Structure 1
Amino acid sequence: MASGEIETNRMKVLEKVEGFEERRNTLLFGSRKFPVGGSNVPAETVVFFPGDVQNFEKILKHHEANQKWKEWTFESTICTLQQRFPHAQIVMVTPFRRVDETFSCYDNFMEMDILGSPVSIECHHAWEHLRLLLQNAWKSIGEEQAPNSMVEAGTIGDILTESSLTLIGFSKGCTVLNQLMYELEDACSNKAVLAFIRRIEALYWLDGGHVGTIPTYVTDDNVLREISKLKATFYVHVTPYQVKDEGRPHIGEEHLQFISKLMQYGADIKSTLHFRDESRSLKKHFEVIKLF
């Protein structure tokens, strides 16, 4: 369950929400527009995993090295996503830890090094952790939005599994999507997790990248064959900042393998290269959040 709830800028911050085996992450729930005459239970839930540098406004605007990127706070990103998905419930899963309030580390989803680059693709129960995070977060705040019948029946935590799911990773946040893909086949043996996975309609990789040795994009054929069985649409949005990095040429190569192999295996995948003819730019890297 969540150990604390804070209201900020029309969104809820749920601190230390419990997931798998007492792992905890802080989640942000955006406000939501309700369709006229429609149900107040969301038809769609959008889950976003932020990247390095991104942080709460109160931290980012005072950070000596990163304050120039204050346009990309957690709060502003939630607002951008709400505009992109006006009737969806936006949920941001923040990193378990941040080094120097800069480097995002998703240790609760995979094994990572000190600066948050993945060091293993072995099973870390990432799907079960995500499912329980969302379920327990909704139990904490959902009663005010749910029908009385669900509250009385004690099924409030099932709301998020009744809505469709869209998963989005930005930059370092894409490591979580990758880990979920590596664990997909094993996770489907769990009936509760399988039901959760079947709700996924779309996955977005937004300019993924990290400095570790684990591939930036999934390239293993066995894993990709399994991924292609998902009844979901895959979206990949990149910029030259990542895929044209001369110091990390493998990112561009892995990106192309990921796309071409998924197409080969029959997946519904759409890829976009933004700022194609422009030089590498961290500013343009962040702007993909608004462009996808």
Structure 2
Amino acid sequence: MHLHKFSCYDNFVKSNMFGAPEHNSDFGAFKHLYTLLVNAFNLSQNSLLSKNMNVWNKDSTASNCRSSSYTANGCQGEKERTCENSDESAMSFYPPSINGASFTLIGFSKGCVVLNQLLFELKEAKKDKNIDAFIRSIRTMYWLDGGHSGGSNTWITYPEVLKEFAQTKIIVHTHVTPYQVCDPMRSWIGKEHKKFVQILGDFGMQVTSQIHFAKEAPSIENHFRVHEVF
């Protein structure tokens, strides 16, 4: 455990012994994220379809029910009984599908390394038609006060990587606090953040940047409070 802090995202990005990311272009973060979402949508579909089928079966039985009665001459006859449909939406319900959905990706603190890894993989990932369609469905990405144990690449500043990213037309929001970008012991973080925003802007990407609690002393408490204000 480095500096009494440790977290890793080995299913998305390779890290060294200190937990700092070692980015590359083919680790498979996009594929893993896409597969997780496909499985999540399938589970929700199966669950909702199962519930909907139970409702439909009950409605079908209710709408076809009959009550027996006896006529005046003593012969048994059938009298149609009107039954309420307990759920009129049952026949027209469609469960959610990943096709046609839109997504917002959010990374916080060390978790921003996952978003950064996605940027490194972008060019290669587009070669897979399913992943390419998924990338096109991502509308917005949020970087929330990113930081990690390494001494660089807290924010991605490689023009060739960011140029590829800018072509996606994804809207980018960055929200930071003095805890990360004003730390004199980690001065590269603030510099990289500014460069990240500047380069994306130069490439014509829609990007916003906001620093929160700027007039307050840097603190881990405010670092976590960024969840409340972004």
Q: Does 1:253 align with 2:191?
A: yes
Confirm whether residue 205 of structure 1 aligns to residue 143 of structure 2. yes
Please point out which of 153, 170, 179 is paired with 2:108: 170
1:224 aligns with: 162
- 1:102 CA drift (Å): 5.9
- Amino-acid identity (%): 42
1:289 paired to 2:227: yes
- Which one has the bigger helix percentage? 2
Deviation at 1:278, TM superposition (A): 1.4
SS of aligned partner of 1:120 = coil
Residue 108 of structure 1 deviates from its aligned partner by: 1.0
Compare CA radii of gyration and give the structure with the larger one. Answer: 2
Q: Is the aligned partner of 1:137 residue 2:40?
A: yes
Which of 11, 24, 28 is residue 108 of structure 1 equivalent to? 11
Give me the TM-score of the superposition, normalised by structure 2: 0.75
Give the deviation of 1:216 after TM superposition. Answer: 0.5
- Which of 224, 229, 244 pairs up with 2:182? 244
| SS class of match (2:42) | helix
Structure 1, gaps ≥5 residues long:
1-97, 149-155
Aligned-residue offset at 1:115 = 4.3
Q: Which amino acid in the other structure matches residue 136 of structure 1?
A: N
Instruction: Tell me if the contact between 2:152 and 2:189 (Cα under 8 Å) persists in the aligned partners.
Output: no
Change (3 A) 1:270 1:145: farther
Instruction: Select 1:277's aligned residue among 197, 209, 215.
Output: 215
Cα RMSD, aligned residues only: 2.3
Deviation at 1:265, TM superposition (A): 0.3
Unmatched 5+ residue regions in structure 2? 54-94
Shift of residue 271, structure 1, vs aligned partner:
0.7
Q: Which amino acid aligns with 1:207?
A: D
List per-residue Cα deviations over 1:56-103 (Å, max 9, x = no partner): xxxxxxxxxxxxxxxxxxxxxxxxxxxxxxxxxxxxxxxxxx99x962
Aligned to 1:182: 120
Equivalent AA in structure 1 for residue 6 of structure 2: F
Q: Which has the higher strand share?
A: 1
